[in-house]
Amino acid sequence: MTSPDLARAPAADLESDLARTRRARRIDRALAVRYPDAHCELDFRSPFELLVATVLSAQTTDVRVNLTTPELFARYPDARALAAANPEEVEEILRPTGFFRAKTKSVMGLSAALVERFGGEVPPRLKDLVTLPGVGRKTANVVLGNAFGIPGITTDTHVMRLSQRLGYTTSDDPVVVERELNRLLPRADWTMASHRLIFHGRRTCFARRPACGACPIASLCPSSGIGELDPVKAAAMLKG
């Protein structure tokens, strides 16, 4: 069921599939101009570090994760080390990220699974990644796109919110939204398009009150006008 405040504007419902595809690609090009440095904001040096960091990012910020992972990876640099760790020691390191007991169980469980089934290495296939504890399609696509260069749509909260506001979908199901965006955007652009939507959601198109008056895609957005329209006030709201 779609939240009323995120529902697609009526005008977008009359849009043909071809028109929606063209609009989505124009939006992505405009966001590429607005955010030329869009990238994964989790710090990592290997597929394993990115996998663990992405799992830890649930219900907290990338900034908080980036402050926590240096100590974690200094003590447990790979899957074998983390799988063999003392859970209480891992919990203490992860405490600042919230839900630290569940996250400890997930990252130690996925590490053990990597050792037992994949020789301690992160597999570069979605069907294998989603079998790991705490890893769903969103996390798998983050790892594939940013650690292996395999395109994928990341359906995090920002991508979900913006996909509805932009009239790309009316679904709240991440799998459906991923499929909708896959159809609208060229495969080669999936990873970067995700980053640009996430950047836009964090910096301009906020959940409670978007800065519509300072938005580079306002003329292409069926939800334009739900936020601050005054250009000066909207510009003052921008982050980053």
Domain ranges of the chain: 4-34+158-237, 47-147
**What pLDDT score was predicted for residue 240?**
80
Q: What does each of the 240 residues of the chain score in pLDDT, given as a tens digit?
A: 344 344 344 445 678 999 999 999 999 999 999 999 999 999 999 999 999 999 999 999 999 999 999 999 999 999 999 999 999 999 999 999 999 999 999 999 999 999 999 999 999 999 999 999 999 999 999 999 999 999 999 999 999 999 999 999 999 999 999 999 999 999 999 999 999 999 999 999 999 999 999 999 999 999 999 999 999 999 999 998
**Token pair 């447990």 is at which residue?**
76
Establish whether 156 is a catalytic residue: yes
Between the CA of residue 51 and those of 10, 70, 75, 122, 142, what are the distances in Å? 39, 14, 17, 8, 8
3-state secondary structure of 228: coil
Say which of 28, 103, 138, 189 is annotated catalytic: 138
**What pLDDT score was predicted for residue 14?**
79
Say which of 127, 156, 172, 189 is annotated catalytic: 156
**CATH number of the structural domain 4-34+158-237:** 1.10.1670.10
**What pLDDT score was predicted for residue 3?**
41
Report the chain's terminal Cα–Cα distance, integer Å. 32
> What is the third-level CATH fold of 47-147?
Endonuclease III; domain 1 (1.10.340)
Between the CA of residue 195 and those of 62, 65, 189, what are the distances in Å? 13, 18, 10
**What pLDDT score was predicted for residue 2?**
40
What is the rounded (10 degree) CA torsion for 40, 43, 46, 50? -60
Establish whether 138 is a catalytic residue: yes
